[in-house]
Every structure is written in C-alpha cells, then in structure tokens.
Amino acid sequence: MTTQTILPVESEALRALSESNNEPGWLTEQRLEALKLASGLALPKLEKQKIERWNVSEYGTYKASEAIASLEDVPASIKDLVKDQAEGSLVIQRNSGTVYSKISADLAAKGVIFTDLATAVREHSDLVKPYLNTAVKPDEHSLAALHAALWNGGVFLYVPKNVKIEVPLQAVLLTDDASATFAPHVLVVAEANSSVTYVDNYVSGELSSPVFHNGVVEVFVKAGAKVRFASVHQLSTSVTDVSFRRAVVENDGSIEWIVGEMNNGDTASNTMTVLNGNGSSSDSKVIAVGSGSQKLNYTTQARHFGKNTPSQMITRAVMREEASAIINGITKIEKGATKADGQQTEKVLMLSPKARGDANPILLIDEDDVTAGHAASVGQVNVEQIHYLMSRGINRTDAERLIIYGFLAPVVADIPLEALRTQLQSLIERKLGQ
C-alpha cells in the first residue's frame, strides 16, 4: 500500500516562490514535478529502524537570508570555523539562503566556479541543469522528492578540465532559525583530469523548536578526475538530520569520502559511490559518536559497473549512554564488472550497557572474476585492557579515553587533511564528555 505524504507547501505557493527568486523556468517545473511525485511516494526504508517515528516533517518555510559583508559579521556559532578563511574560497549558508560567497581570483581565472547553488542555476544554468537531481533522483522516495522540490541555498562547485586545485574549498551550512527551511543541495562537477578537495561543516545555533534537515549531495567525477569530499555534521539534539550523498565516477576517476557524524540528534545518512567507469575507484571513511538517546542509521554503498574498480569502506562508531546505531555496508558488483575489488569494515564500540550497535556487512555479487571481503564487529570496551592500563598508573577515565582513541585512530590517522583531523579530534572529545 502506498503511503500518502503530507506536503509542506502547495504547488502554487512553490511556483510563486521559485519565480520570485528569478529561477529559470526548467527549475520551476522540476520543483513542481518533484512536489507532485512526493505526494504518492513512501518514506525511505531504514534497516531495523522506523523513520516514520522520527521528526521528518518540520520543514518550516522559506525565508530570505541577509548577506554579510565581512567574515567579522558571521554568527558566533561558526566564527571558529571561518576565522582563517579571509583569503580563501568559502560559501556560508544560514538557514534558507547563502549569506557569504567568495572564490579566490586565481581559481576564478582558471574557470573554477564556487558559489551557492541558487546563484549557479541563474548564472550557470547550462552547467547545472544536466546534473541536478540526476544522481539522487526525485522518484526514489518521498524525502528525495521533497528535497528536489524545496532545496535552498546549497553549493555548486565546478572544476574545469585539467585544473588541479591544491587548497581545499570550504562551506559552512548553519541552521539557527527553527521556522526557516534548511535543505541545502551540494553539487560538485569535476571535469576530466581535474582534482579538488571540498570540505563542509553542518552546524546549528540556538533553536527554539525542532528542525528537519533533508540534504542531498551529488558528485560527478569525470575521466581521470580526483575528488576528495569531506563533511562534518555537528547539529544539535533539536535537529533530525537525513542526508543522501552520491558520487558517479567515470573511467580512472576517484572519489574519497571522509564523513564525521558528530550530531546530537537522530541521524540517517546514505553515502553511495557508483563506479561506472573502468579503473574508477572509491574510498569511504565514516566516523560516528553517538550519545544520549540518539538513534543513528549509517549506510555506505559501492556499486561496481566498470572493470578493475576497487572500493574500500571503513566505518567506526562509538556509542555511549543509551544511543543506538545501525551500521550498514553494501557492496554490489554488477554482471560484467570483472576484476572489481570491494572491501568493507564496520566496527561499533559500546561504552554503556544500554548502548546498542548493529553492524551489517552485505556483499551482492553478480560476477565471478572479482575480489570482495568484509569484516564487522560489535562489542563493549575490553575490561582487561582497562585493568592493564590502570595497573600502569592510569586512572579509569583516561584508560577508557585511550582505548576509544585507539579504536578510532586507524580512520582518523588516515585522513589527509590536518585541519579536519584536529577538528574531528575536538568533536570526539566533546561528544565523549572529555
């Protein structure tokens, strides 16, 4: 039976909003079609959790955001994240819209485009239209359709052929008005033989009532291109965070995902790489810390279509207090994807008797000439390790901290960005109450 979705906005109001924002006609129609689709689609299915019990309806309403002239004027909640970005390329979204956008003159001269997506659809429609909502399609489920109808602000990054960017491009996406829609869409297109590192942070300020973040990321990696995509989510208990990330990789291209799930509210994310091209590759690293009564659901996927395509997925999660997590790893090797190699590891460490963790490695293989493997573990902190460290003069709190850091270290140490490693370390300490 099809579940009826209650729409947060009427079609005529959506059309009027799109037109008032001077969006091109094709986007207005795309939004309206997605809204129509949403009414007949069900919510996405989460493994062993019921998303319909979550807050997935508090969209708020679209509110125009006032631009800031200088980074000195940014809200206090994100000052530390942007304090060193005065000379760099940076996009800041606050609630429904972008308040700051800057790209260095050097990158602009090379043809790089780094701006908010709302501006890009008006000024670079020919580059946006072929890709928008084609990796995460609106007809997949009601949340994908509603996102396609209601997305706002967001980020557009375009890297021309053969352009190699050495310095990371950064974005900060902030929600601090519970009555405003917060549904950014991030779209990255890396042309042939280009390379880029993109880093974003999702942050919340003081919120008077619940907020639902329905976010989508689409990354298109052309032949021989290399994209490193890093994202840290540190939203408060008032925010329910559902994020769908997807990369489509062509011949000899590569995508590296680095995801830090440090939210305090219920969270579901799906990070998928589609390896279409021969020799394409994917490396996904996900770190998560759950606390309180959080319900967490993380899925990492790799779909192999091309030949000689390696994929690696590593997820490590620490659960404390009464937090519960479902960790899914899915490797799908399609018929014809010879010499594919899919490897995955999921590990959950529980710090409390009431914490729960479930690791589900899944291999779906339709081709014989391939390599695939998985490892999964769920367990409590090793009491013998704690006693050993305490026998060496270390107190129990510090002993547990060392064990936790040792558990996360293989992933954290492999992150090639020093600033991101430092930030994640700080967030881990905060979430663990240390």
Residue keyed to tokens 């997305």? 151
Work out the average pLDDT over 408-422. Answer: 83
Q: β-pairing, 90-94 with 97-102?
A: antiparallel
In this prediction, residue 4 carries a pLDDT of: 55
Share of the chain above pLDDT 70, in %: 98
Answer yes or no: is pLDDT of 382 > 60.
Answer: yes
pLDDT bracket for residue 2 (50, 70, 90): very low
C-alpha dist (Å) from residue 90 to 146, 217, 323 = 27, 17, 34
Percent of the chain predicted with pLDDT > 90: 80
| Mean pLDDT of the region 213-226 | 98
Show the CA angle centred on residue 19, arms to residues 13 and 25, nearest 5°: 115
Give pLDDT, residue 40: 93
Segment 373-382 shows an average pLDDT of 89
pLDDT in tens, 318-358: 999 999 999 999 999 999 999 999 999 999 999 888 999 99
pLDDT attached to residue 1: 38
For residue 298, pLDDT beyond 90: yes
Taking only the tens place, the pLDDT of each residue in 117-135 is 999 999 999 999 999 999 9
CB of 371 within 8 A of CB of 388?
Answer: no
The residue written with tokens 């967001």 in the block is 154
pLDDT beyond 60 at 434: no
pLDDT tier at 385 (50, 70, 90 boundaries)? confident
Q: How far apart are alpha carbons 304 and 248 in whole angstroms?
A: 11
pLDDT at 86: 67
Mean of the per-residue pLDDT values for the chain?
Answer: 93
Query: Which sign, positive or negative, has the C-alpha torsion 404, 406, 407, 408?
Result: positive
User: What pLDDT shows up at residue 194?
Assistant: 98
Q: Which H, E and C letters describe the chain, residue by residue?
A: CCCCCCCCCCHHHHHHHHHHCCCCHHHHHHHHHHHHHHCCCCCCCECCECHHHCCCCCCCECCCCCCCCCHHHCCHHHHHHHCCCCCCCEEEEECCEEEEEECCHHHHHCCCEEECHHHHHHHCHHHHCCCCCCCCCHHHCHHHHHHHHHCCCCEEEEECCCCECCCCEEEEEEECCCCECCCCEEEEEECCCCEEEEEEEEEECCCCCCEEEEEEEEEEECCCCEEEEEEEEECCCCEEEEEEEEEEECCCCEEEEEEEECCCCCEEEEEEEEECCCCCEEEEEEEEEECCCCEEEEEEEEEECCCCCEEEEEEEEEECCCCEEEEEEEEEECCCCCCCEEEEEEEEEECCCCCEEEEEEEEEECCCCCEEEEEEEEEECCHHHHHHHHHCCCCHHHHHHHHHHHHHHHHHCCCCCHHHHHHHHHHHHHHCCC
The pairing of strands 155-159 and 113-115 is: antiparallel
Task: Give the tens place of pLDDT for each residue, 40-68.
Answer: 999 999 988 999 999 999 899 999 999 99
Q: Give the lowest-confidence range in 199-208, 327-336, 385-394.
A: 385-394
Residue 164, pLDDT above cutoff 90 = yes
pLDDT band at 413 (very low <50, low <70, confident <90, very high): confident
Query: pLDDT digits over 61-103, tens only?
Result: 999 999 998 999 999 999 888 887 767 899 999 999 999 999 9
State yes or no: pLDDT of 400 exceeds 90: no
